[in-house]
Amino acid sequence: MVIPAGERSGATGSGGRRGRASTSQFGALGLHLADPRVEASVLGLLDAVEIELRDSVASADPFVSEAARHLLEAGGKRFRPLLVALGAQFGDPSGAQVVPAAVVMELTHLATLYHDDVMDEAAVRRGAPSANSRWTNSVAILVGDYLFARAADIAADLGPEAVRLQARTFARLVHGQIAETVGPRAGEDPVAHYLSVIAEKTGSLIATSIRFGGMFGGAPAEQIEALAGYGETIGVAFQLTDDLLDIASESVQSGKTPGTDLREGVPTLPVLYARAADDSDASSVRLREILATGPLTDDALHAEALGLLRESPALKRARETVRSYAEDARARLAPLPASPSRRALESLCDYIADRTS
């Protein structure tokens, strides 16, 4: 299962409920907003998004309202609304449609989390019981559907182009989930397949988020396209950093116990590179033998594989891949004017490079 970056982290705020947006959200993502006016604009937009999110999930049925609020109130970094707000800085961030556009993106994202937890049989999400464990799989699926419907309803008020983009993004999300579930076809490169799944499942929604910001802020078309290209690339890079941290970190930087993916048999980028390697040294051969056994539930084997991976050429190669995505994302910002908002987006690239070193 490809989990959007940081989404298994603990809840935020008092009792898991979110309050006003704060600069701590930026620091958690490696984002630096050096201009006080840009910072005030982004924080104001995020506060408005939070209010509208709560209103948008309300239902005449109290149970539906409770279930739909479940993950919303558990927290999360609101990365997608943040990128909508940053994209809007290249036009007029006070535009009336910027906040609803951010709500559409976050509702779409939240809906996928309800569905993902059913597919993963997850017990916890954002430090709280997952909806499927608190209620049932059927309830979690239906609540996810309800959130998708609410997102589409709000998108309709934004115009036909917003509806089209949201629908196409949703289609890419589903396509990526299917590809992940089925796995690589015969003769398909597993690494290329994996990177494609991340682009579809994670990159696509982040790309549309920052595109919406540019669109509804009124940025020029060339800049909107640059923002979208940046969004997809940085989204893939962020997801891949979690792959590396799962192997390399001695702490819970990635929001989960190091080696969790390895223990569960999830084939992340370092593991895929290690499997595909043809190195003949004893460590590489032994690592391939262990990885071929599937999920590493045996503590001794898990510890051995984790140690070998940390010293392997595969991890180094994975780091180089992540840095290449970060640099590609930076290059895609070239059409944008030099400004505090562009520098903020560049700071995410720097953060990824530092995070994977």
CA dihedral (234, 239, 240, 241) in degrees, to 10, reads 90
Beta bridge partners of 125: 128
Where is average pLDDT lowest: 154-168, 238-252, 257-271? 238-252
Between CA 331 and CA 354 the distance in angstroms is: 17
Residue 158 lies in a domain: yes
Residue 208 lies in a domain: yes
Q: How confident is the model at residue 8 (pLDDT cuts 50, 70, 90)?
A: very low
Of the two residues 231 and 26, the one the predictor is more confident about is 231
Where is average pLDDT lowest: 57-61, 271-275, 298-302? 57-61
Residue 21 lies in a domain: yes
Do 264 and 298 touch, CB atoms closer than 8 A? no
Residue 6 lies in a domain: no
Residue 22 lies in a domain: yes
pLDDT of residue 25: 64
**pLDDT at position 283 over 80:** yes
Mean of all residue pLDDT scores within the chain: 86
For residues 247-271, give the mean pLDDT: 76
**pLDDT at position 73 over 90:** no
Task: Give me the CATH number covering residue 55.
Answer: 1.10.600.10
The amino acid sitting at 284 is: S
- Please tell me the pTM assigned to this model: 0.87
State whether the Cα torsion 202-346-249-7 is positive or negative.
Answer: negative
Where is average pLDDT lowest: 9-13, 55-59, 96-100, 250-254? 9-13
pLDDT of residue 251: 55
pLDDT of residue 12: 38
CA 56 to centroid of chain Cα atoms: 22
- Among 234, 188, 209, 212, smallest CA distance to 332 is for 234
pLDDT of residue 35: 83
For residues 256-278, give the mean pLDDT: 86
pLDDT of residue 256: 60
Q: How confident is the model at residue 258 (pLDDT cuts 50, 70, 90)?
A: confident
Of the two residues 60 and 288, the one the predictor is more confident about is 288
For residues 14-30, give the mean pLDDT: 59
**pLDDT at position 295 over 80:** yes
**pLDDT at position 113 over 60:** yes
Residue 3 lies in a domain: no
Residue range(s) defining the domain that contains residue 66: 14-355
Q: Domain tally for the chain?
A: 1
Residue 238 lies in a domain: yes
**pLDDT at position 17 over 50:** no
pLDDT of residue 15: 38
Residue 331 lies in a domain: yes
Where is average pLDDT lowest: 134-143, 273-282, 321-330? 134-143
